């Protein structure tokens, strides 16, 4: 086994840990955070910067799917952790078929409620044989061998047009990005509010949690110098493609909130932050976004964000900035602005 001294924490890894298999040198594709994996061997491929950072902190190789795999020899096998998004799982499978040599062993593991049983139909449609290897902890494990398939993973990337008043933008979309293929209602309210909240062409703007890049593209079209960040490699790639599709300049970086920005400061931070249903008092990444914003704003700089109306962000904004204003409220979402004095 990969490791014998560290116990698996997640059900999918507990199922893998009981296999009589030599996983040394294998690829671990889109896994959850788990000490059993992070203390073992092999390479992780993940769109989640937090997962890659944890592996790198443990001295383990970690890359995004948009980077070259480390080393010269092909891995002896791969494990794909099937995501809840079926379309994203299909993309990962196509990526593996296009990246690794035909005949490479592949195991697919996931929670039964997360749709792992549907992989049998997907594999059959691609002409890949499969068999069930094991099940436990309400999870299932299947195995197959990779082969060349007719579908290119690039086909999962789509484009759609978004109408924003008199502005039209072409957006790149991927199953791994929030709001895949559509304009989120909260983002639309934010964009309707921004023309008055943020003068055009005014300084450096940070798009925090850039998603498919719609905010970054809208800001760049108005003449702002845009830096866009997201923890998801899929979002960073989508934003780069969106900017390119609209012939706009901007920088897109993988960053866990402000982690990739060092001491950089901006004239404005704009965000439709992710909503995590957490009981923690800091509300996860959005808590960090708000609390640390003053350190990344120049004097007079403003934080403008949209959020679900019921979330208690006013307390966080009051604590970080000493005051705030509500620019828009449609009962579902609110747009807040806070200024660094």
In the sheet with 204-208, reading across from the earlier edge strand, the strands are 251-254, 225-230, 204-208, 266-271, 297-308, 333-339, 325-329
How far, CA to CA in Å, does 124 sit from each of 111, 112, 297, 327?
A: 20, 19, 53, 52
**Whether the Cβ atoms of residue 79 and residue 44 lie closer than 8 Å to each other:** no
> How crowded is the C-beta side of 300, counted as CA atoms within 13 Å?
4
Dihedral-angle region of residue 48 (phi above 0 means left; psi in -120 to 50 means alpha; beta otherwise): beta
Cα 320 to Cα 54: distance, rounded to the nearest angstrom: 28
Strands 105-111 and 78-81: parallel
Residues 101-132: pLDDT tens digits? 999 999 999 999 988 999 999 999 999 999 99
How far, CA to CA in Å, does 190 sit from each of 18, 125, 169, 272?
A: 49, 42, 16, 8
129-137: Cβ within 8 A, 24+ apart = 133/19, 133/107, 134/15, 134/18, 134/19, 135/15, 136/14, 136/15, 136/18, 137/11, 137/12, 137/14, 137/15
115 three-class SS: coil
Cβ neighbourhood burial of 149 (10 Å; 0-12, 13-18, 19+): middle
Which spans in 105-226 are helix H?
Answer: 119-125, 185-197, 214-221
How far, CA to CA in Å, does 258 sit from each of 39, 155, 265, 291, 333?
A: 27, 32, 10, 11, 24
Same topology for domains 11-151 and 157-339, yes or no? yes
Residue 32: CB atoms within 10 A of its CB come to: 14
Cα 8 to Cα 39: distance, rounded to the nearest angstrom: 10
Q: What percent of the chain has pLDDT over 90?
A: 83
Please work out, in degrees rounded to the nearest 5, the angle formed at the alpha carbon of residue 46 by the alpha carbons of 239 and 98. 85
pLDDT the model gives residue 179: 80
pLDDT the model gives residue 280: 40
**Whether the Cβ atoms of residue 241 and residue 262 lie closer than 8 Å to each other:** no
Residues 232-256: pLDDT tens digits? 999 999 999 999 999 999 999 999 9
Domain boundaries, the chain: 11-151, 157-339
* CATH architecture, domain 157-339: 3-Layer(aba) Sandwich (3.40)
* CATH architecture, domain 11-151: 3-Layer(aba) Sandwich (3.40)
Q: What is the pLDDT along the chain (341 residues), one digit of tens a residue?
A: 444 457 999 999 999 999 998 999 999 999 999 999 998 889 999 999 999 999 999 999 999 999 999 987 899 999 999 999 999 999 999 999 999 999 999 999 999 998 899 999 999 999 999 999 999 999 999 999 999 999 999 999 999 999 888 889 999 999 999 888 888 899 999 999 999 999 888 799 999 999 999 999 999 999 999 999 999 999 999 999 999 999 999 999 999 999 999 999 999 999 999 765 433 444 688 999 999 999 999 999 999 999 998 888 999 999 999 999 999 999 999 999 999 99
> What rounded mean pLDDT belongs to the chain?
92
Question: What is the pTM for the complete model shown?
Answer: 0.93
């Amino acid at each position: 086994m990969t490791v014998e001294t560290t116990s698996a924490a997640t059900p999918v890894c507990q199922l893998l840990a009981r296999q009589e298999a030599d996983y040394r040198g294998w690829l671990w594709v889109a896994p959850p955070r788990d000490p059993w994996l992070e203390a073992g061997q092999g390479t992780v491929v993940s769109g989640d910067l937090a997962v890659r950072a944890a592996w790198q902190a443990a001295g383990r190789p970690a890359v995004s799917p948009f980077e070259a795999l480390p080393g010269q020899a092909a891995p002896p096998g791969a494990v794909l952790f099937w995501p809840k998004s079926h379309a994203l799982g299909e993309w990962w499978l196509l990526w593996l078929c296009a990246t690794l040599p035909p005949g490479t062993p592949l195991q697919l593991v996931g929670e039964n409620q997360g749709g792992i049983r549907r992989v049998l139909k997907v594999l059959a449609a691609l002409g890949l044989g499969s068999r069930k290897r094991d099940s436990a902890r309400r999870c299932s494990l299947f195995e197959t061998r990779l082969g060349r398939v007719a579908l290119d993973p690039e086909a999962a990337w789509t484009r759609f047009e978004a109408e924003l008043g008199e502005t039209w933008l072409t957006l790149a979309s991927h199953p791994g990005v929030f709001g895949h293929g559509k304009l989120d209602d909260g983002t639309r309210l934010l964009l309707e509010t921004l023309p008055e909240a943020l003068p055009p062409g005014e300084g450096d703007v940070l798009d925090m949690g850039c998603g498919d890049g719609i905010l970054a593209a809208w800001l760049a079209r108005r003449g702002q110098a845009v830096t866009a960040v997201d923890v998801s490699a899929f979002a960073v790639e989508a934003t780069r493609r969106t900017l390119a599709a609209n012939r706009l300049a901007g920088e897109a970086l993988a960053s866990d909130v402000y982690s990739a920005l060092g001491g950089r400061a901006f004239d404005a931070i704009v965000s439709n932050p992710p909503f995590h249903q957490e009981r923690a008092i800091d509300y996860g990444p959005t808590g960090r976004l708000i609390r640390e914003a003053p350190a990344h704003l120049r004097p007079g700089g403003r934080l403008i964000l949209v959020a679900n109306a019921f979330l208690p962000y006013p307390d966080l904004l009051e604590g970080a900035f000493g005051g705030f204003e509500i620019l828009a409220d449609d009962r579902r979402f609110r747009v807040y602005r806070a200024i660094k004095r």
